[in-house]
Structure 1
Amino acid sequence: MVKLIHTIADHSDDVNYCAFSSSYLATCSLDKTIRLYSLSNFTELPYSPLKGHTYSVHCCCFSPSGQILASCSTDGTTVLWNTQNGQSLAVLEQPYGSPVRVCRFSPDSTYLVSGAADGSVVLWNAQSFKLYRSGSVKDGSLVACAFSPNGNLFVTGSSCGDLTVWDDKMRCLYNEKAHDLGVTCCDFSSQPVSDGEQGSKYFRMASSGQDNQIKLWLVSFTDLIGFDLKFKCTFPGHSAPVLTCAFSYDGQILVSGSVDKTVIIYETNTGNILHTLTQHTRYVTTCAVAPNIPLLATGSMDKTVNIWQFEPKQHCAENALETEPKMRVENWSEEEVSVWLCAQGLKDLVEIFKRNNIDGKELLSLTRQSLTDDLKIESLGLRSKVFQKIEELRIKVESASVGIPDEFLCPITRELMKDPIIAAACREY
């Protein structure tokens, strides 16, 4: 499922963090630098490394557009960099100059959060580079942060083990003791899931801690109950503190790295361990999954960054639906719908359908209007193609339900032929 394809060994000290954009990989280190690499061939960009911090760089993150990179440091600053030329755009100074441990952009690039060792958390305006709001946790250093996919709130994790939920006005909505010995990382899956008898929509959030544990949480946002956070389960596997965790873009896998020097890849739905990677020789401090290509990066105190490639799933092959008659279309799961889309040459629509939780029953009920209004498929040609495929699928379902062989149906109208006529082919000489 995963193979090592490249190792970066350019840093002269511990690698503290790595992050992907759609085009680049960024890494930062105890050596005070940030390095940028092209995803096309993993070569370092001409203006890399980025130098500006005077102490260790703890974290780095890209804006959603990938045009800005933020980095934060023990020197008490968060620096914003232009990813096109490596120029510094702004230096944001944490109140009271406390070492900054973590930084994150909001999904719409409106805000940037920075969290510091004194427990302070600052919400910066990412356009004007001005301080918007600030707050602080009661105890401990802020070491982790993640925005919800809809941008309505963000979660911070502290060295005292608390997860704290904030809204975009910096109001504290919730606080929970999550890890006994301290939180180390947290991450949201960008794809919603259904849970419970009423089919409510939730986002998954994972947190890792010094207690050797990875915990999965369900976060909901509804008009009826407002905000809700509930513990779901614990993922086993690590024998030492877990320092990092990250979801894949589709939320199907969760990756973690630990003081035990291993990287574990989990299947999110079941918690099953898919792979344990043991190539790093010291603590694994960071992991990141690329947003649009099947790549995983892991960084370590061994001063290296390993880049891994996920092998393609076999179910996207052209013959993926050869076993389809064994299951009625209306009983297809969201994953089976994804398989069908791949088989029809509509792989680009998989994420849209997953985001809207389209299963087999909902697939059969889609109309041209819903493809436009609900799924927001803007391309007329793409809408027409997917609707035609859905129509063919409906006809196939109807034919199967009454037991009519396909050869008895008109290839044009798909109605039962009463007096079929076979036309012989004519050939000119």
Structure 2
Amino acid sequence: MNSRVPGTLAVERVKFVGRHRGEVNSSAFSPDGQKLLTASEDGCVYGWETQSGRLLWRHRAAHPGPVRFCRFSPNGCLFASTSCGCTIRLWDVAKAKCLQVLQGHQRSVETISFSPDSKQLASGGWDKRVMLWEVQSGQVLRHLVGHQDCPSDFAPSSDCLATGSWDSTIRMWDLWAGTPVIFQQELEGHSGNISCLCYSASGLLASGSWDKTIHNWKPSTGSLPVQLKGHITWVKSRAFSPDGLQVASTGYSHMVKVWDYNTGKCIETLKGVLDVAHACAFTPDGKLLVSGAA
């Protein structure tokens, strides 16, 4: 998908990347938009050149089991990947070399997010833990206890972490607080498990749920100004456009939807996905949208 100006879309399939040998569980663009990272059920992490679609690297057996999630660090120097094998791996982008293996989770690690300054990493998984890591040393800084199977994301200021849970709530954690860390705010409104979370660059928060809706929040007030309704199945992933005016989302279906953040109106339904869409991400310039599928 090409995005011309805010509120208008030019839709076409720009590139097809199909050398995965399993479902594509997650995807992420590098901060400069030149590289695309994908995590696959086949146990590999893939790196692609965005413009040409050329495969730059494929790491076999990088993890013991399917690779669940992947993210670039905001400074573009590292990327991280998670697996069903309970581990997180930190990689050097330039050399595509594994630098560290982070161990501490007891079950599959489902989500990760870097702090905006690239110094910390948050991870959540099926062991009902959110773990906060120091990137440079690989040491665990904190355990945030109380949520189950937690998607998470850092606020743009790096001082707050949002986590979602199977109890249908979102918690906002003050990372400058002492130990133990206590959540400072709880957002309620979903009627199903929270499956995905993301902040916009301006600090707005979007959450997707098994209740088939996306909620747009203003975390500073805890208010819920807009609900996005239209998915026929649970919401699998979502992503803000760089300007924060649009939200892309995938459900457990063949469609990717693009929404106007302010009005909650679906402005485009993309049907070019060959199978169930698991992931979506905008390029940093907002001109392209990628979706990964089964």
TM surpasses 0.5: yes
Please list, as runs of the form range in 1=range in 2, the aligned pairs for 1:101-140 lying within 5 A after superposition: 101-138=110-147, 140=148
Question: In 1, Cα distance between the equivalents of 2:290 and 2:247?
Answer: 13
RMSD, aligned CA: 1.5
Match of 1:282 in 2: 275
- Please give the per-residue CA displacement for 1:15-59, whole angstroms capped at 9, x wherever unaligned: 1100011221100011111100112322111x3235420111111
| Contact persistence 2:242–2:286 (CA under 8 A) | no
Give unmatched runs, 5+ long, in structure 2: 1-8
The structure 1 residue matched to 2:75, chosen from 65, 86, 91, is: 65
- The 5 A counterparts of 1:212-231 are 212-220=212-220, 228-231=221-224
| Residue 181 of structure 1: aligned partner | 192
The structure-2 alpha-carbon separation of the partners of 1:281 and 1:40, relative to structure 1 and needing over 3 Å to count, comes to closer
Aligned counterpart for 1:28 among listed residues 39, 45, 51: 39
Partner of 1:395: none
* Residue pairs, 1:249-260, within 5 angstroms: 249-260=242-253
Q: Is the 8 A contact 2:273 2:293 kept in 1?
A: yes
- SS of the residue corresponding to residue 190 of structure 1 reads coil
Distance 1:178 1:110 in 2: 32
Moved over 4 A (4+): none
- Equivalent position SS for 2:262: coil
The 1:103–1:50 alpha-carbon spacing in structure 2 relative to 1, beyond 3 Å, is farther
Residues 1:17 and 2:26 aligned together: yes
Rg larger for: 1
Offset from partner CA, 1:325-370 (integer Å, 9 cap, x none): xxxxxxxxxxxxxxxxxxxxxxxxxxxxxxxxxxxxxxxxxxxxxx
Q: How does 1:193-342 map to 2 (within 5 A)?
A: 203-220=203-220, 228-301=221-294
Residue aligned with 1:286, SS: strand
Percent identity, aligned pairs only?
29
Structure ranking higher in helix proportion: 1
CA distance 1:261–1:40, shift in 2 (3 Å): closer
Structure 1 residue aligned with 2:50, among 39, 47, 62? 39
Cα distance in 2, alignment partners of residues 106 and 121 from structure 1: 14
Shift of 1:293: 5.0
CA distance in 1, matches of 2:40, 2:167: 24
Letter in 2 for 1:151: S
Partner of 2:64: 54
Cα 1:211/1:65, change in 2 over 3 Å = same
CA 1:166–1:19 in 2, change beyond 3 Å: closer, same or farther? same
Query: For each residue in 1:226-245, what CA deviation from the matched residue of structure 2 results, as whole angstroms up to 9, or x when unmatched?
Result: xx322112112211111111
SS in 2 for 1:7: coil
Q: Identify which of structures 1 and 2 has the higher relative contact order when contacts are C-alpha pairs closer than 8 Å and 6+ apart.
A: 2
Tell me the equivalent position of 1:172.
Answer: 183
Q: 2:149 aligns with which of 141, 151, 160?
A: 141
In the alignment, the residues of structure 1 paired with residue 277 and residue 250 of structure 2 have an alpha-carbon distance, to the nearest angstrom, of 5
**Any unmatched runs of 5+ in structure 1?**
192-202, 221-227, 302-429
Once the 2 structures are TM-superposed, how far is the Cα of residue 87 of structure 1 from its aligned partner? 0.8
Instruction: Report the Cα distance in structure 2 between the residues aligned to 1:244 and 1:161, rounded to whole angstroms.
Output: 16
Instruction: Tell me the TM-score normalized by structure 2.
Output: 0.90
Q: Equivalent residue of 1:4, what SS?
A: coil
Report the Cα distance in structure 1 between the residues aligned to 2:224 and 2:264, rounded to whole angstroms: 14
SS of corresponding position for 1:6: coil
In the TM superposition, what is the alpha-carbon distance from 1:277 to its structure 2 partner? 0.6
If the length of structure 1 is used for normalisation, what is the TM-score?
Answer: 0.63
Q: In 2, distance between residues paired with 1:106 and 1:34? A: 21
Sort the Cα spacing of 1:293 and 1:272 in 2 relative to 1 into closer, same or farther, 3 A. Answer: closer
Deviations 1:286-340 (A, max 9, x none): 1111113511111112xxxxxxxxxxxxxxxxxxxxxxxxxxxxxxxxxxxxxxx
2:42 partner SS = coil
